Each structure stands twice: as C-alpha cells, then as structure tokens.
Structure 1
Amino acid sequence: MPDDAVSPESRAAVYTSVAAGGRLLHELEIKRSRFITVLQRTPDEESARALVSGLRKEFHDARHHCSAFVLGPDRGVQRSNDDGEPSGTAGTPMLEALLKRETAPGVTDLSDIGAVVVRYFGGTLLGSGGLVRAYSESVSAALEAVPLVRRQRLRICSVAVPLASAGRLENELRAAGYVMAGASYDAQTAVLRLALPDDPAGLAHAADRVAALSAGSAALLPGESEWSDVAIS
C-alpha cells in the first residue's frame, strides 16, 4: 500500500471509530461487476495489512482487492492501494469516503478503520469515472450500516473511602455524571475507580467534587490513561 499522507504525532483526545470485535460486509452490483466492501477496526498498520491479506485468501478468485485505511486519533496515517485498477480510480476514492464520513453534523473524525473492496469483474468496462463512483459508493454505503463508537482518552482514577460510606459516594458520583470504572473492597475500605477525561481542568474539577462530596475525607488519585470506547448516544 503506497503512502498517501502522514501527519505529525497524534494529540487528539476524542475521535470516532467502528465498533471493535467484528467486521461489516456490504455488496454492491454495478453492470454485473460485484463490489464487496469489508470494514473493520484496524488499530495499527499491521492489522490493516492483515485484513487485506486475509481477504486476498478468502476471495482468492477476485480480480481486485483495493484498500484504504486511516489510523490514529488525529488520522495521521492514511494509505490506499488501487490493486491493479487504473491509478486513482479505487484506493483514493475509498480513502476520501472514509475521510469525509460525518460522524456528527459537521464532524469528520473517523479513524482506526480499514476498508477493502473486493471486485469481481462482470465483463463491462466502467471507465475511470464509473470506477471512481463505484468504489466511493461502495465504501459510503457500507459506512451507513456499520456501528460507530466514540474513542476517548480517559484517565483511570481511584478514591479510597471507608466501606460504610462507599455506596453513598458512588451513587453521588454517578448522579453527578461521572463514569465509574469498577471498585475493589477489603474488610474496611473500598476503592472506587472513575474514568475521567484526560485533561488537567477536568481532573482538577473531579478532585474538587470528590473532596466536597466526602467532606474532605477522600482524595482523587490519578492513575494511568487509556483509550476507551464510549457509546454514541
């Protein structure tokens, strides 16, 4: 897959991707040519290339296995491949369909996604314009059907409180809109875990809220940050 663009190191804290753990297959027929689109979460180049390799084996009798993928929170890695179609008629329109997909009104932040369009030639030449439309429409139609999730950089923080007051504090934190990430208990203490946006202002506000709700008896301890899937409401 030749390079299309590489941007500086990613810094985004939120972006959109397809749901992990599966793949979507969509088929479009144009003048007896079959265009089979497969979309899948691809968190890195290795998984994106593995997707293409696997589909070459699965659809081994197809004429073309054209591909495009976008990776990283800032969509810093973008690749496409025409796989034998005339230059610029397959991979580029596929990549454009990924990049221009709106995940909310006016928002184009889809990333960590691989798209492969498998073409079975039907005997009729489509011409350059027809191929561009076919590959673009194939990916766009598949994107309409694929489940999306919000990917957010969250910091897992902990609050240690006496066991007797843990339930009340947890309920109050949930009521305040915080995302709880589990808890652990021993004979006298509970450790509540919160998943918080990974920014200084948000962490400071959460620390103040924990202090206020616990009358100063508990403190928020920031832990490691990680990318998490958040359902789109």
Structure 2
Amino acid sequence: MLRCSHVLCKVDDVHAVVRDYRELGFTLEYGSAPQRAHNALLWFAEGPFIEFFQLPSAFRALKWPMAARYGLAAGERLARWAHPREGWRDLALETEEPELGRAHAALAASGVRVSRVMNGRRTRPDGALVRYQFLATRPARLPFVVSAYRPPQRPATVVHPNGARHVTRVRLGVAQDDRTAFDTLAAHLGPGGPLTVEDAATTGVVDVELDGLSDLLDPARLHGAVFAAPAGKR
C-alpha cells in the first residue's frame, strides 16, 4: 500500500527559500552541502514533509532522452518539474519498502501507466549517502511513487519555532479528464492519511494545512507554496 510521502514545491532559488522560511520560524535543512544544494527539506516529527527544489528550465530539453531510457512517463515528469514558475509542483506517494519492484508490478497490473524504476541518490550535508528509488506515472499531473529512504531520513527531533507540528491535510485537486487514472492509482493508497481529494479544473496540489501554526504566513516569502490559514484566522 502507498501513503502520502511529501509535497514538492518548485522554486527559483533554494538559498532564498531557506533564508525566508527560517525567518518565518521554520527549521529547514539543505538536501546536500549548501554550496551545491538544489533542494531543501521541511521535516515534521511525523507524517509528510515538504521538499523545495530548483531545476533549470533548460532541463525540459531532456524530456525525450529521459523517455527513451525510462519510459514516456519519466520524460513527461522531468519536463513538468523543469517548467518555470514557483509553486506546488508534485506529490509523492511512498512504499515502506526500499525497493520498488513489487510496487511497480502491482501498479502496472492494475492499469496504472508507469515508467521504469529509477535509482536516486544524494549526499547529505554531513556526508552520508542517501539512496532511494522512484517511478513516474502518467499523466504527469498524477502523484508519483518513491521508495523508503536508505537509511531513513526523518530527524529524531524536529522543532519549528513558529509552532508548526505536522501536516494535517494535503488538498489535491483532480480534473475530470484525470479522474479515472487517478482513481486507479488511489486504489493502492492505505486508509486514513492527510490526503483529501476534490474536483478541480486542473490536477495538482491546492494547499497544505499545518497543525500548530497560530499566525498567517506572509505569502510574499513562501515562494509559491500555498498554506491553509490557521483555524483561528479563517
């Protein structure tokens, strides 16, 4: 079964993101050594996390080479990630296993259009190597699938000075044209979890709700991410 792993937000400058979110009271960590990092991670003590990533728009030119190697679903996903504009860009679903072989077979057998399994790796700021696998789905607007990280990456303790504790809801809009494909993928989701689904003109993450916040976040410093207003501010 799959569960909500993390929400991806495309940004223009990951260093500006780290600066702004830290000033907003979040604890952020770079995905790799700061001088070469292209992503930053917003962890919580439990549940989904948020990944901010930057990717040059020129990477859209790699759509077809990527498709030739891993399948059209992978090429379309890369082009989607590289499209300019800051904001929520994707949603990852995860397995509890470090390998995606069984998940790939189960998804394909049920009718989900998937890429080949791809291997990923990054070196953390402390020098430790992180390995994982992922696969893309079609259409590229749907969530994609990742394995468990090796080794596990969630920090033992996560404290945000602004009071944020965890993601209580990820609101996902699904367009009518994508409903059948999404429902086929969603049949592999486990019960419960923070993901809520609603009809929308286009498919994608609408907003994220965080438990523990008491004040509104300055949208000018969120780099395209959209968070639901705290309960007391609605």
Fold shared by both chains (TM-score > 0.5): no
Q: TM-score, normalised by structure 2?
A: 0.21
Q: Which has the larger radius of gyration?
A: 1
Q: Which has the higher strand share?
A: 1
Q: TM-score, normalised by structure 1?
A: 0.21
